[in-house]
Amino acid sequence: MARKKRASDELYNQRRRAKRAIARIEANPNATRRERAYAKALKVGVSQSYMGRNASPERLRASLAAGRLLSMRTAGAKAGAAERRDIMFRAQIGASSRKGANIAGMTRARSKIFFRATQRYWAGKGPDKLASIQAAFGGRPLDEIYRMVMSQQTEALRREYAERKARTGGLTIDPDNALQQALAENVDRDQGSPDYMVYVAEVAPVSL
């Protein structure tokens, strides 16, 4: 009960800050189309953060995740365009790390692929992986770095898709096809990680 009360208070404060940001944008007659779209996204976040009475543990987790995303979006409302762009990306990739999430095409599996491909740039360089990656790529916008990195992961993405289809029943597994059997297992026995991670291509800033 105490945990739910703390969560409810936290969400209330996040919604209050978001509503103030919405009000500032809506009161500005010179607000740009991007700023109005931002206010609309904040409104969606506000509605998603409500957990209701007698919330189940799953609903509580979903509300808290929505609240964290809302908090980052609210911070972005005060930022410049470039900073806001990075804040939004950070919020999206953080939210996509939840099992089953799909945030603007970003999934848990794709986030794993991205961080594996860029591991040499963030490993051992502090807790902020994205800041380390961005510095290595000359300060480019994070979403731009993400798109370019993922454009080089054709084989890993193909295999991840095949594994996902195999798990969900969307792909028929041929018992005589060794590759399909390996994909269906979705496990690299040596590393204890998904098989498709073996096919991640490390990228270098000069290649982008």
Long-range contacts (CB closer than 8 Å, 24 or more residues apart) made by 180-186: 183/159
Question: And the tokens for 116?
Answer: 């594996």
Largest CA distance in the chain: 66
> Is 86 within 8 Å of 135 (Cβ atoms)?
no
Q: What is the pLDDT of residues 3-54, one digit of tens each?
A: 556 667 777 887 888 888 888 888 888 887 777 777 777 787 788 777 776 6
In eight-state DSSP terms, residue 126 is -
**154 and 67 part of one domain:** no
The answer to whether residue 97 is domain-embedded is: no
Whether 120 and 201 share a structural domain:
yes
Q: 83 lies in a domain?
A: no
Domain count, the chain: 2
For residue 129, tell me if it sits in a domain: yes
Asked if residue 201 and residue 112 are part of one domain, the reply reads yes
Whether residue 198 is found in the same domain as residue 123: yes
Judgement on whether residues 112 and 73 belong to the same structural domain of the protein: no
Render pLDDT for 73-126 as a digit per residue (tens, 0 to 9): 666 555 566 777 787 788 788 878 777 777 778 888 999 999 999 999 999 988
CA distance 95 to 199: 24
Conformation bin of residue 101: beta by default, left when phi > 0, alpha when psi is -120 to 50:
beta
Shortest CA distance to 51 belongs to which of 19, 94, 13, 11?
Answer: 11
Q: Which domain does 7 fall in, by range?
A: 2-78
